[in-house]
């Protein structure tokens, strides 16, 4: 049997130099191939096919069944894609990933999908392919019978990660996923110079923490791969795909200090750079120093807020002191930090926001853009919002999440859980980001050595041979923008919200 695995389209930014490796379908593909079935992958994030191109591409794949991988925010696109598959090919369709895991009934009721996979997909997809005529004994799925009845099977047991084969690199268009230059999202810009070839990997699955806003396919379960297995895979990527850096894409790479220490030591001998997601309560001076010595160039921290009240409400499990300590350690060791902040969690007010601003001011850190809180299916926050009746129609909400500007970092909040109006909250976000930037500028003026280092980093990042030769003003302009001198101009360019209440307004993502 042949399965076509599709990673749905989610970005309109072709230039964005950071194409995510579709781990979900990559892992499923290798497992299925190992079991003797055939697989073809279609990643719509790298192919950017238009509707008229998708139909012939799907036909050419000549598959007996299709599997679609989607986050919750890919609902509209997935629904449209299933319509196309059903109309032109008529094969069974499986949906997997966060969308299917957290919203299976909605997907089965409102789309033409036949099966939703809940949680991990390797063994389950194989089970489906082997038992397509009678799915009643396949664990880990919800499915629709011919009469439209929805059947919910038992959950599937968790697999051992080391027993799973690596992603099916051999059938994937690997050059699409190797970052060749600086990623606009990364703070470790200095190290991400042109010529770098950064690969992507995951060292485990899941996260044991219980932050209320976080949506997780495996709940609080987590599983880690052995270090031997990881090192083998990295060696393969170095040898076969000439990578010289790795971005660990786990939810929480630094989940265990001892393991992080050991993995760092092993990575050192491979002479590559690497980066991953940590938590402020998991780092200490010695560990960060060791990681840096072993090639780590950047750590991501979900700081979320500088207010203890908010951290508690979010069930973040970290304190202000831990945040301060982690930031200071990284500053002292010159370790780049990618800091994530959120605004608008229930309970947020002007006081909690100014606590966050104050914390970053004290630390002499620029902070970063805030994401407006968006309840995601699969999170405790989403359950709360549903139980309070704030979201009335979950299917419409999935469509709203599928909007390009669905509140994450641009535009008005999708669901406003604060005392502010939508516009006030949005303005507060812009003003706070601007205030933090100003505070950081003031800090730089008072610390000339840090200012010089900061400018050096920005310059190194922005220097590109062509720009220097042909347009030195462009570099000066970019630099000025970066350090905030063009702040007002920048803000003028930000699209201002037009409506007072645009929450849940639908603008469908279409396949066109």
Q: Applying CB under 6 A, which residues contact ligand SF4?
A: 207, 209, 211, 214, 251-252, 279, 302
| CB-nearer residue toward ligand B12: 367 or 378 | 378
| CB-nearer residue toward ligand B12: 83 or 324 | 83
**Cβ at position 22, least distance to ligand B12 in Å:** 5
Structure tokens at 259: 């393991």
Structure tokens at 395: 């299917």
Q: Does 166 bind ligand B12 (CB under 6 A)?
A: no
> What is the signed CA dihedral for 238, 5, 72, 82, rounded to 10 degrees?
160
Piece in contact with ligand B12 (CB under 6 A), picked from 97-105, 129-137, 419-427, 458-466: 97-105
Q: How far is CA 312 from CA 66, 315, 320, 324, 420, in A?
A: 43, 5, 11, 16, 21
Q: Which partner in ligand B12, ligand SF4, none is near 116 (CB below 5 to 8 A by kind)?
A: none
Question: Rounded CA gap, 272 and 244, in Å?
Answer: 5
Q: 422 and 505 in contact (C-beta within 8 Å)? A: no
Q: Does 377 bind ligand B12 (CB under 6 A)?
A: yes
| CB-nearer residue toward ligand B12: 177 or 461 | 177
Piece in contact with ligand B12 (CB under 6 A), picked from 56-64, 210-218, 316-324, 439-447: 210-218
In 185-233, beta strands by DSSP E = 198-201, 204-206, 222-224
> Which of these, 115, 64, 53, 124, lies nearest to 90 by C-alpha position?
64
Q: Does 22 bind ligand B12 (CB under 6 A)?
A: yes
Q: Does 42 bind ligand B12 (CB under 6 A)?
A: no
**Cβ at position 250, least distance to ligand SF4 in Å:** 9
Sorted by sequence, the CB contacts under 8 Å of residue 332 that are 6+ apart come out as 285
β-strands 273-278, 296-304: how paired?
Answer: parallel
| CB-nearer residue toward ligand B12: 21 or 440 | 21
Q: Which partner in ligand SF4, ligand B12, none is near 25 (CB below 5 to 8 A by kind)?
A: ligand B12
Q: Which of 4, 98, 245, 300 binds ligand B12 (CB under 6 A)?
A: 98
Q: Which partner in ligand SF4, ligand B12, none is near 252 (CB below 5 to 8 A by kind)?
A: ligand SF4
HEC sequence for 31-51: HHHHCCCEEEEEEHHHHCCCH
Q: Which partner in ligand SF4, ligand B12, none is near 125 (CB below 5 to 8 A by kind)?
A: ligand B12
| CB-nearer residue toward ligand SF4: 172 or 280 | 280
Question: Rounded CA gap, 405 and 50, in Å?
Answer: 21
| CB-nearer residue toward ligand B12: 454 or 509 | 509
| CB-nearer residue toward ligand B12: 206 or 497 | 206
Name which of residues 45 to 74 contact ligand B12 (CB under 6 A): 67-69, 71-74
DSSP state of 297: E
Quick one: CA dihedral 479, 481, 485, 489, positive or negative? positive
| CB-nearer residue toward ligand B12: 245 or 483 | 245
> Which of these, 232, 225, 228, lies nearest to 205 by C-alpha position?
225
Name which of residues 116 to 155 contact ligand B12 (CB under 6 A): 117, 120-122, 125
Q: Which partner in ligand SF4, ligand B12, none is near 302 (CB below 5 to 8 A by kind)?
A: ligand SF4
Buried b vs exposed e over 48-64: b needs ≥16 C-beta within 10 Å? Answer: ebeeeebbeebeebebe
List interacting residues with ligand B12 (CB under 6 A).
5, 10, 20, 22-25, 27-28, 67-69, 71-74, 94, 96-98, 102, 117, 120-122, 125, 202, 214-217, 249-251, 371, 376-378, 408
């Amino acid at each position: 049997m042949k399965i076509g695995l599709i990673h749905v389209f989610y970005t309109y930014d072709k230039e964005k130099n950071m194409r995510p490796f579709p781990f979900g379908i990559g892992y499923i593909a290798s497992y299925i191939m190992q079991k003797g079935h055939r697989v073809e992958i279609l990643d719509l994030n790298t192919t950017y096919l238009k509707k008229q191109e998708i139909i012939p591409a799907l036909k050419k794949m000549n598959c007996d069944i299709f599997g679609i991988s989607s986050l919750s925010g890919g609902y509209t696109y997935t629904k449209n894609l299933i319509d196309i598959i059903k109309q032109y090919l008529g094969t069974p369709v499986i949906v997997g990933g966060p969308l299917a895991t957290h919203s299976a009934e909605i997907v089965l009721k409102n789309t033409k999908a036949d099966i939703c996979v809940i949680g991990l997909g390797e063994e389950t997809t194989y089970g489906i392919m082997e038992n397509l005529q009678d799915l009643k004994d396949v664990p880990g799925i919800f499915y629709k019978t011919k009469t439209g009845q929805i059947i919910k099977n038992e959950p599937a047991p968790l697999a051992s990660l080391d027993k799973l084969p690596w992603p099916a690199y051999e059938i994937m268009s690997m050059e699409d996923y190797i970052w060749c230059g600086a990623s606009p999202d990364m703070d470790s810009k200095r190290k991400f110079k042109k010529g770098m070839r950064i690969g992507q990997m995951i060292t485990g699955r899941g996260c044991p923490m219980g932050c209320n806003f976080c949506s997780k396919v495996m709940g609080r379960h987590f599983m880690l791969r052995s270090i031997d297995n990881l090192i083998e895979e990295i060696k393969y990527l170095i040898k076969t795909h000439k990578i010289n850096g790795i971005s660990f894409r786990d939810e929480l790479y630094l989940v265990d200090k001892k393991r992080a220490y050991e993995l760092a030591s092993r990575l050192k001998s491979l002479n590559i750079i690497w980066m991953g997601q940590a938590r402020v309560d998991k780092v200490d001076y010695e560990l960060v120093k060791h990681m840096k010595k072993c090639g780590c160039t950047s750590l991501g921290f979900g700081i979320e807020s500088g207010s203890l009240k908010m951290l508690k409400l979010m069930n973040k499990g970290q304190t202000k002191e831990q945040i301060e300590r982690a930031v200071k350690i990284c500053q002292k060791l010159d370790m780049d930090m990618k800091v994530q902040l959120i605004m608008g969690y229930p309970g947020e007010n002007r006081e909690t926001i100014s606590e966050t601003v104050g914390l970053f001011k004290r630390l002499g850190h620029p902070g970063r853009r805030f994401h407006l809180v968006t309840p995601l299916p699969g999170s405790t926050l989403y359950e709360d919002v549903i139980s309070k009746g704030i979201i009335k129609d979950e299917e419409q909400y999935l469509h709203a999440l599928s909007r390009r500007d669905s509140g994450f970092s641009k535009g008005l909040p999708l669901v406003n859980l604060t005392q502010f109006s939508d516009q006030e909250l949005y303005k507060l976000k812009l003003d706070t980001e601007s205030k933090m930037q100003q505070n950081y500028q003031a800090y730089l003026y008072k610390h000339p050595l840090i200012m010089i280092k900061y400018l050096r980093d920005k310059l190194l990042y922005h220097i590109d041979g062509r720009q220097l030769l042909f347009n030195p003003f462009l570099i000066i302009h970019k630099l000025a923008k970066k350090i905030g001198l063009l702040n007002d101009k920048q803000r003028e360019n930000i699209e201002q919200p037009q409506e007072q209440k645009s929450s849940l307004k639908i603008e469908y993502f279409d396949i066109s």
